[in-house]
Amino acid sequence: MFKTRLASGIILVILAVLVIVAGGTVLFFASLVLSLIAAGEFFLAVKVRDKGAFGPMDLAAYIGIVIYYVGIYFTPMYYWLMYIVADFMIIAFVFVITYPRYSAYQMLGAFAGIIYTGVLFSCVYLTRCLSHGWLVVWLIILASWGSDTFAYCVGMLFGKHKMAPILSPKKSVEGAVGGVAGAAFLGFLYALIFKGPLLTYTIICAGGAFIAMFGDLTASGIKRSMGIKDYGTLIPGHGGILDRFDSVIFTAPVIYFMASFFIGI
């Protein structure tokens, strides 16, 4: 299992690097595809659709994600709210015309899936589109996956106080501190190497790492609430897209907005 997890993890990192370096249309379509796959995993988890069967509600949500992506690709970013409102209207329309096929929880779950797997994940692409995006976008990886590595190592060596004993028994306060500190160090080191603003990159990575922990815990909480172990089986040894990118999904929008504020669009 460890060898499988390591091998698939290495392949995943290589693919992520190639796609992010390419940027532009390549990153756009990669983000869209990953969002749709993650949405499928989420809809299965929260019972918006049954396994192996598609219905009007989840199909409407998939269409909503595509509409949002097409919108941010062809129009200025300040129209983003219009696409989200349109997506909610589509979900509400399907809820009404198919009533009582879907419960209110399923309607809200479908819309939540659009935001969670579509809007938040798209911030990887949006960060890459910033004026210094080719440099800033890597802070998402450093803050999410980098902090996870530091948190694991520090937690294994020094972890004594449980951070969320019921939700995630293996995570410790010491590991969390180590993850944030480690990400801040990576941001500082990255700025030194690529001659970026030292304090800004350090703060951005630390903030992203802090949020990344809650992204991971949120995904774990949803799985525990719904009684599932993994969201999917697409990535050997890791689970589904949501299992591997749960922290990235939360980190990407935070770093996008922090970079826009501190560095400028």
pLDDT for 227? 87
pLDDT for 5? 66
pLDDT for 124? 96
Query: Helix (H, G, I), strand (E, B), or coil: what is residue 232?
Result: coil
Q: Are 49 and 43 in contact (CB under 8 A)?
A: yes
pLDDT for 54? 85
Q: Mean pLDDT of residues grouped by 10 in the chain (265 residues)? A: 68 88 94 96 90 87 95 84 93 96 95 96 95 92 90 84 81 89 95 92 94 90 88 77 91 94 73
Instruction: Name residues whose C-beta falls within 8 Å of residue 169's C-beta, 6 or more positions apart in sequence.
Output: 162
The single residue listed with the structure tokens 């129009």 is 75
Domain boundaries, the chain: 2-262
Give the residue from 106, 98, 34, 108 showing the smallest Cα distance to 65.
34
| CA–CA separation, 213 and 177 (whole Å) | 10
Q: For the chain, give the longest Cα–Cα distance.
A: 58
Q: Are 246 and 211 in contact (CB under 8 A)?
A: no
Long-range CB pairs of 44-51, under 8 A, 24+ apart, other chains included: 44/231, 45/222, 45/223, 45/226, 45/228, 45/231, 45/242, 46/106, 46/109, 46/112, 46/113, 46/222, 46/226, 47/106, 47/109, 47/226, 48/102, 48/106, 48/109, 48/110, 48/113
pLDDT for 202? 95
pTM check: above 0.75: yes
pLDDT for 2? 54
Q: Are 219 and 151 in contact (CB under 8 A)?
A: no
CA dist 262 → 32, 109, 203 (Å): 27, 34, 10
Q: What pairs with residue 172 in β-bridges?
A: 162
pLDDT for 12? 83
pLDDT for 3? 64
